[in-house]
Structure 1
């Protein structure tokens, strides 16, 4: 196709009025009529950027007249309340991006994707845009990916710190949770329903709304939650409602860090204060008499359904509902991992039924994480949900399920993937079947770390190697999720570090708690070191009951659904390992030749 041969035109100038005038004169007098025509007569995308200390701040826009638009920005710079004022104080630069195939819709999509990418750049601390505007169908939308890739690569040649590799951006936890992703039709429909209900409530038509969204791992709950959260603030600003009280709540330390970064980069924290927090903090700092407008709860299955030392209530979800006019819940029953999160069926159904009665129940069904055929997803479902083992299907989309005879080979393959720039976010994870204690050192004084140990192979549990990092190294990884930290390729992750996050390839070690007997997968709590899953739970009627088998089953499902491109498996149980090797693709299994 002809358009694939065309290259974007990218100009960089100092970001001030004098440089802009010189640039305009140069373009108007150039002998290159194509450049002149594209810059002066076509829609343009532009990036204002400046450094604040060692980090960047940016504003991304599009215009039919980039020169006139830039002059407007310089005029607005006189107001100290405007972001443009930073252009007067900083050594700012302006990128002007043109292309012969740019039209209004395409430039809006390029602008939106630049915002998506740059919010995921570690060195970019703030994006000053107020809103995104993803487009629907238009004539040249099939050219978007190719043109954007060309634009990004050219920008990267100019400044690799501001424009890092696409693969590093797409692997970042901020990118995966970004509110700037283009939503699927199901996500978009769900978001429209939520926002309509919220503003009906704010207008006094229907307070105390519960919106219950259910979907399994990888169905897009986090992006829906994040996108809705951001658009609520956008809508409020459009209506000049500066008093909106909206909070995003999640009971997961790693995910909290991601959402805090997003809120900071979008300027929400500066304008509204604390808009992201954990449930116990939210409950302790808000009261029933003065409810906030909206509480959005991601990973609501991680909420506690009984009291703990830091939480004196009986049910965190009910306590949050009592403190908000509208509560939006993202829930997956199959990801409940501990006894304090366990829901008694009738209590959970009470919340579902309430949402359904108010026509506020939404179910997300499309699998968005795994690039896999339905047959492959069905195989994982049968293993993790129905405890059945079938022949591993061939996947036409390229998703890989591999079975290994020993942990050394699985570890070697994952490390090979991690050393490839395109699949760098690949890690080994395991069921919680080896001892680990964050408060104490290993009992065996010869051991330096809490480890996963299988025969002669051993590797530290997550967060163990962090103890060896110096202050600068710790500062550099502070904002990164566990899997994004480079040294964690030498660790083994658990559900507590990987739940809610994606990996390119996941190497899952099924420990002794996962067995195979009489043609069925067995989950054995007696082999688990996860006390939070295997201890007794006191029910609402006062009786005590164990849910270890169910919670270990959920643990295995969380681990086995992390991989976007592939799932590698080693099983410690001999019978399960042999059965897996039997059902591997074409009856073959994977064992590399190693030099002795």
Structure 2
């Protein structure tokens, strides 16, 4: 690759004199004139807001003068966001040029800028409302390097608006953003789903189910986020195919507190909740606040394996998915049978088959097979899966890019995770997790008045959601793993499901044992009441289903690490079996 050079960036005041301001800063510089006035450019317009933070617009254009005049003189007549910007006395504008910019590349840089700006804590409102991801083109392989150089130069202007890239990449909102480049598999699924949604809306159908299945890390959440953004920004363009699309009522449901925070943040920043309330909510709230006679247009359900399949608390029904289908024209459900964790979520094999058959009859069953989270070779991923799927421990394969370690000391593993998070390597988001084999009650403290603790060997740490956030900035909206103090806690499936970590340390508690050459699950050693209590089945009989739910719990924990997985097993035989499997690989890590 030839040297791609560095961007030219000019900052000007965004007001009625903006184009004159740009001409003034160019001031006869031929290179700046060519790259900023004659080439395609990317631009950012931003304004501080009273409550703190910024309102930001990201765009690209072939003619920065004409586009700026349009934003100043035409857009305020038809769009509230531009009307507000035009009245701001403190609005500023960055104009970004590069000698390799072409139309396709500026569209991709614009999309990448949206992806990063969404993850900036100080950005409270982000506007653009176009999907710009491009297919392969001549300079597409230069995008990431050019973008990094642009971002670093923008940091020189404002470190609050443009934080370090690695901080943004670690944020949960970045990882769930609708502006990621999709894989071919995700693109195909997206196109199929959006087409089917439009068809269902035009035909006034009701109760349509699109079922998207995929294992942990297959890109389901990014796909759902992208689809919601696309559907929410569909416009009535006057054609018969788009009539009424300006007034669609679309919802995202997720039965997980931490994921709920992320979706609320995305929806709020992109202003997708301005027409009606509760765009993002838990399933029970949606069911109780919507009538079957007035169905929503589109309902997207993330983590559909967490939907309840029996009555509980304020939910009086028997199956939340069935009740959602009755209240929506079309429902897109993201599902992984291997992440069902509680008895109230349990589905019998026949019930899963019925759900799949319903989707298949409408030609609406979509399977995602690619592993996008774990950056490891196929053999390493199989080794991880075999623990829960086949209940065996094979020799750990050689893998130069994935850091898989087995520890004989839990405290040593904790120190290794702390070093990843805080050390010179700057490895990013790294946390300790554990199977739910130690007591915890979120409603009260233990009798000694301290914390509910996880104890393994010489290591003793509080369970999640107990330590107070550090610093003055409110961290309530951040996911558990993003909060600084959680490095000194132990996470569970309740705080980490749906998220990933760069490096993940897993304490496998006493409910997982190794006997006679196989991994076994001991419900009597588990403190996970939600998994080990009886479940009333379809035939009315009460049965234990822990033999299916406890492996799912371990599966969720073992599949969180993007670049590395560290394991400590409490059970002596399991720990010995894993250490033996790791013997040939120790030299790669120690």
Relative to the length of structure 2, the TM-score reads 0.96
1:320/1:327 contact within 8 Å kept: yes
What's the C-alpha RMSD, in Å, of the aligned pairs? 1.7
Q: 1:79 is paired with a residue of what secondary structure?
A: helix
How many angstroms does 1:589 deviate by? 8.2
2:48/2:91 contact within 8 Å kept: yes
Quick one: distance in 1 between partners of 2:11 and 2:258? 37
Q: Does 1:452 align with 2:454?
A: yes
| CA deviations over 1:391-446 (Å, ceiling 9, x no partner) | 100114x1111011111100000000111474221000000011101112112x2x
Quick one: distance in 1 between partners of 2:181 and 2:430? 25
2:411/2:458 contact within 8 Å kept: no
Quick one: distance in 2 between partners of 1:367 and 1:331? 15
| CA deviations over 1:446-486 (Å, ceiling 9, x no partner) | x61000012432000001102xx58x74x621111000000
Q: 1:350 is paired with a residue of what secondary structure?
A: helix
Q: Does 1:295 align with 2:294?
A: no
Q: 1:135 is paired with a residue of what secondary structure?
A: coil
- Show the counterpart of 2:129: 130
Q: 1:155 is paired with a residue of what secondary structure?
A: helix
The partner residue of 1:495 within 478, 493, 496 is 493
Q: More deviation in 229-238 or 488-497? A: 229-238
Q: 2:353 is paired with a residue of what secondary structure?
A: helix
- Show the counterpart of 1:588: 586
- Show the counterpart of 2:511: 513
- Show the counterpart of 1:187: 186
- Show the counterpart of 2:31: 34
- Show the counterpart of 1:57: 55
- Show the counterpart of 2:534: 536
2:376/2:402 contact within 8 Å kept: yes
Q: More deviation in 511-520 or 268-277? A: 268-277
Q: 1:160 is paired with a residue of what secondary structure?
A: coil
Q: Does 1:389 align with 2:389?
A: no
Q: Does 1:176 align with 2:151?
A: no
Given the superposition, is the C-alpha separation of residues 522 and 189 from structure 1 closer, same or farther in structure 2, using an over 3 Å criterion?
A: same
Quick one: distance in 2 between partners of 1:79 and 1:326? 35
- Show the counterpart of 1:139: 138
| CA deviations over 1:267-313 (Å, ceiling 9, x no partner) | 11113432111000000001111111111111000000001122110
Q: Does 1:548 align with 2:546?
A: yes
- Show the counterpart of 2:161: 162
- Show the counterpart of 1:579: 577
- The alignment covers a number of residue pairs equal to 582
Q: More deviation in 359-368 or 183-192? A: 183-192
How many angstroms does 1:536 deviate by? 0.4
Q: 1:476 is paired with a residue of what secondary structure?
A: coil
Which residues in structure 2 correspond to 1:54-133 (within 5 Å)? Answer: 54-76=52-74, 78-79=76-77, 81-87=79-85, 88-133=87-132
Quick one: distance in 1 between partners of 2:363 and 2:375? 32
2:131/2:230 contact within 8 Å kept: no
- Show the counterpart of 2:151: 152
2:10/2:25 contact within 8 Å kept: no
- Show the counterpart of 2:2: 2
1:394/1:585 contact within 8 Å kept: no
Given the superposition, is the C-alpha separation of residues 302 and 198 from structure 1 closer, same or farther in structure 2, using an over 3 Å criterion?
A: same
Given the superposition, is the C-alpha separation of residues 84 and 24 from structure 1 closer, same or farther in structure 2, using an over 3 Å criterion?
A: same
| CA deviations over 1:330-357 (Å, ceiling 9, x no partner) | 1000000010000011122111111112
2:307/2:321 contact within 8 Å kept: yes
- Show the counterpart of 2:373: 369
- Show the counterpart of 2:313: 309
Q: Does 1:44 align with 2:46?
A: no
- Show the counterpart of 1:276: 280
Quick one: distance in 2 between partners of 1:565 and 1:212? 30
Quick one: distance in 2 between partners of 1:96 and 1:590? 47
Quick one: distance in 1 between partners of 2:254 and 2:314? 16
The partner residue of 2:434 within 405, 430, 436 is 430
How many angstroms does 1:69 deviate by? 1.2
Given the superposition, is the C-alpha separation of residues 148 and 587 from structure 1 closer, same or farther in structure 2, using an over 3 Å criterion?
A: closer
- Show the counterpart of 1:439: 443
How many angstroms does 1:389 deviate by? 0.4
Gaps (5+ residues) in structure 2?
Answer: none
2:71/2:82 contact within 8 Å kept: yes
1:581/1:587 contact within 8 Å kept: no
Quick one: distance in 2 between partners of 1:342 and 1:219? 22
Which residues in structure 2 correspond to 1:333-348 (within 5 Å)? Answer: 333-348=337-352
Q: More deviation in 337-346 or 70-79? A: 70-79
Given the superposition, is the C-alpha separation of residues 566 and 275 from structure 1 closer, same or farther in structure 2, using an over 3 Å criterion?
A: same
1:404/1:590 contact within 8 Å kept: no
| CA deviations over 1:499-541 (Å, ceiling 9, x no partner) | 0001000000001111101110111110000000000001121
How many angstroms does 1:235 deviate by? 2.1
Q: 2:563 is paired with a residue of what secondary structure?
A: strand
| CA deviations over 1:197-241 (Å, ceiling 9, x no partner) | 111111126443111111000001101111111111222455362
How many angstroms does 1:20 deviate by? 3.2
Given the superposition, is the C-alpha separation of residues 68 and 80 from structure 1 closer, same or farther in structure 2, using an over 3 Å criterion?
A: closer
